[in-house]
Amino acid sequence: MLIVLGGVLLAEAFTGIYFLSKNFILFLNPIEGISNDQLITVSDQWQKANYLRMAIIVATMVAFLKSYKIICSR
């Protein structure tokens, strides 16, 4: 269960640190002052990092299900 907790904390920290700044650029701030090249670069970075975040979340879910199965079998 500690591995699951670590996975959840890692995913949340990664989201807060990496994605928050990208979200401001892509979704919240007016994009009139941002060049097309910068928007494309930021969106590509966001997409690639999201694959990593999804892998972390899937691995955490698998660890949770395995640990839950062990706990329930006792």
- Find the length of the chain: 74
Structural domain boundaries of the chain? Answer: 2-72
Torsion of CA 5, 10, 16, 19, to 10 degrees: -140
Task: Report residue 28's pLDDT band, with 50, 70 and 90 as the boundaries.
Answer: confident
Residue 32, helix vs strand vs coil: coil
- Pick the range with the lowest mean pLDDT from 5-14, 17-26, 27-36, 57-66: 27-36
d(CA 74, CA 57): 26
* Residue pLDDT, tens place only, 39-73: 899 999 999 999 999 999 999 999 999 999 999 99
